[in-house]
């Protein structure tokens, strides 16, 4: 990662100013600079052709996946539960699934680009553990397509934070990279360090749902000045995968305590039903 670890856009500890009032207008990239960037990218692509994140075949541009692997991705499309984003039946009379009606989550809505299966899991692992940051633009584009009707202008877009020990070991926070790219595709405001993970919680791979909830209880903190700035605002949490929901539920509880008015969640993939993926793979 080199200099990007210290100063680059995927740093987990950037310190934006407190958000007060409406978001500031974005600065447009001058045409000459866009041309320069495009030229540099073309040179890099010629010298080091992009490869598919799943099969390693050469691909064109920044698609992240070849056509064959793209065809294996299971996109989540309507009808979906209005709240948790799980696929529902067209025969269901309510826009909210039975699970959310029985035990409503603390967040208001969740959207995922894909169902969590072998293909999406491999794509997420490539990003997290093989440093395939080149797939971030494509992933963020698919996430934006799934969530854009829900994200409102001025929403604060926050990645699920890593504990500093895990951040040092991994060198970047994949959720922060996705959140930044998502903010660039929406009218949201990127706020990467407003929530701190105060405990280095153990992996939840072998834990029951109850144990997972206990594992993350009290694991997050928001500093008082930021708690005040969050009051009455809308927040969008960004993560790579949604399995049991324990982490998102705990983060949502912390945000609700700050007076946040609306909580959305956007992930690359989510478990759509209880499968071996939910039990065997913990990708925090």
Residues 84-93: what's their mean pLDDT?
81
**What is the percent of the chain with per-residue pLDDT over 90, rounded to a whole number?**
61
User: Cβ contacts of residue 239 below 8 Å, gap of 6+?
Assistant: 159, 160, 175, 178, 247, 248, 265, 267, 268
Residue that wins the pLDDT comparison between 10 and 121? 121
With vertex at residue 127, the alpha carbon angle to CA 122 and CA 128, rounded to the nearest 5 degrees, is: 95
Q: Is the pLDDT of residue 29 over 80?
A: no
- Tens-digit pLDDT profile for residues 91-111: 666 789 999 999 999 999 999
Residue that wins the pLDDT comparison between 271 and 278? 271
Residue by residue, DSSP assigns 189-229 as EE-TTSSEE-S-PPP-TT--HHHHHHHHTT-EE--HHHHHH
Closest by CA to 113, choosing from 267, 244, 243, 264, is 267
Residues 191-220: what's their mean pLDDT?
91
Tally of CB atoms within 10 A around 244: 21
Which pLDDT value is given to residue 187?
Answer: 87
- Tens-digit pLDDT profile for residues 206-251: 888 899 999 999 999 999 999 999 999 999 999 999 999 999 999 9
Which pLDDT value is given to residue 205?
Answer: 80
Domains of the chain with bracketed CATH? 30-69 (no CATH), 73-280 (3.40.50)
Which pLDDT value is given to residue 2?
Answer: 42
User: Cβ contacts of residue 258 below 8 Å, gap of 6+?
Assistant: 222, 226, 227, 230, 231
Which pLDDT value is given to residue 37?
Answer: 54
* Percentage helix, strand, coil for the chain under 3-state DSSP, each rounded to 5: 40, 15, 50
Residue that wins the pLDDT comparison between 207 and 35? 207
Band of pLDDT at residue 30, cut at 50, 70 and 90: low
Which pLDDT value is given to residue 273?
Answer: 75
Residues 39-43: what's their mean pLDDT?
51
Tally of CB atoms within 10 A around 43: 10
Band of pLDDT at residue 38, cut at 50, 70 and 90: low
Distance CA 216, CA 249 (A): 9
Distance CA 66, CA 54 (A): 8
Which pLDDT value is given to residue 197?
Answer: 95
């Amino acid at each position: 990662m080199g200099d990007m670890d210290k100063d680059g856009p995927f740093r987990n500890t950037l310190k934006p100013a407190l958000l007060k009032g409406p978001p500031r207008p974005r600065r447009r990239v001058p045409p000459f600079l866009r041309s320069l960037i495009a030229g540099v990218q073309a040179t890099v692509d010629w010298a080091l052709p992009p490869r598919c994140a799943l099969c390693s075949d050469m691909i064109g541009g920044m698609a992240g996946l070849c056509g064959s692997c793209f065809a294996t991705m299971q996109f989540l499309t309507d009808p979906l539960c209005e709240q948790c984003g799980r696929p529902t039946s067209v025969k269901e009379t309510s826009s909210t699934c039975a699970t959310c009606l029985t035990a409503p989550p603390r967040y208001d809505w969740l959207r995922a680009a894909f169902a969590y299966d072998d293909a999406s899991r491999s794509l997420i692992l490539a990003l997290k553990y093989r440093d395939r940051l080149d797939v971030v633009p494509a992933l963020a584009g698919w996430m934006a397509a799934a969530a854009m009707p829900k994200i409102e202008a001025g929403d604060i877009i926050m990645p699920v934070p890593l504990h500093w020990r895990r951040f040092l070991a991994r060198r970047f926070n994949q959720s922060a990279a996705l959140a930044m790219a998502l903010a660039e595709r929406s009218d949201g405001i990127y706020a990467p360090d407003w929530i701190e993970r105060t405990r280095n919680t153990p992996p939840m791979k072998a834990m029951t749902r109850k144990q997972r909830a206990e594992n993350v209880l009290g694991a997050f903190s928001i500093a008082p000045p930021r708690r005040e700035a969050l009051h009455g605002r809308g927040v969008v949490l960004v993560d790579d995968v949604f399995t049991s929901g324990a982490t998102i539920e705990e983060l949502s509880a912390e945000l609700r305590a700050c007076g946040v008015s609306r909580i959305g969640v956007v992930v690359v993939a989510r478990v759509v039903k209880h499968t071996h993926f939910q039990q065997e793979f913990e990708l925090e």
